[in-house]
Amino acid sequence: MNQILRNLSAALLLVAPLAACGSDEAGGAAGGAADARNESLAAALADADGLSRLSGSLNETAMATIFDGTASYTILAPTDAAFDEAALSPQEGESADAVLAAVLREHVLPGAFTVPDIARALENDGSVEMQNMGGTMLTFAREGDAIRVTDEDGGTALITGDAIVASNGVAIPVDAMLKTP
């Protein structure tokens, strides 16, 4: 437990300057940060190539309004291909929107983290754990030059593509859904 708190504290210390002054760092490598936008995270996702399924799902579940607000979030953004590969069928008696919202919460972190922020935290300890908005822990670790995120149940995704930095958060494309029903 102390290790988790140390890792989270280190990650938060790295992000504190980001929250205070924003980020305008340009990316070029996969997983880098794109130029900061003066629009909300929801609006930035609506315009993003390869993330239309995520944007549509946020609208469908009414979660897009959260990402139009002032609070900062990081979305581990499943690509359209990741949505195509995921089995998101609700069980009998479950609402499709409720299941989708639960899956999406597993991809949302409080605060704004860029890929370079995560990479710096990994340099200190080799892995970093953060709690998502679904209440479970995600572990970030290096895999060669890439960063892999793993959920408590063993679901994994690689960070892929350039992050989208918006006025109230960051969307980091990932190649798979972390949780499915």
- The pTM is what? 0.79
pLDDT at 94: 64
| Long-range Cβ pairs for the range 12-18 (8 Å, 24+) | 12/111, 14/117, 14/120, 14/121, 15/111, 15/112, 15/113, 15/117, 18/112, 18/113, 18/114, 18/117
Return the pLDDT at 35.
55
Structure confidence at residue 89 (pLDDT): 63
Averaged pLDDT in 10-residue chunks for the chain of 181 residues: 39 39 38 67 95 95 94 97 80 74 95 94 90 96 95 95 95 92 65
pLDDT of residue 117: 93
Quick one: pLDDT at residue 24?
A: 37
Strand partners, 143: 146
Cα–Cα distance between 44 and 32 in angstroms, integer? 16
Fold of 2-174: FAS1 domain (2.30.180)
* Residue spans per domain, the chain: 2-174
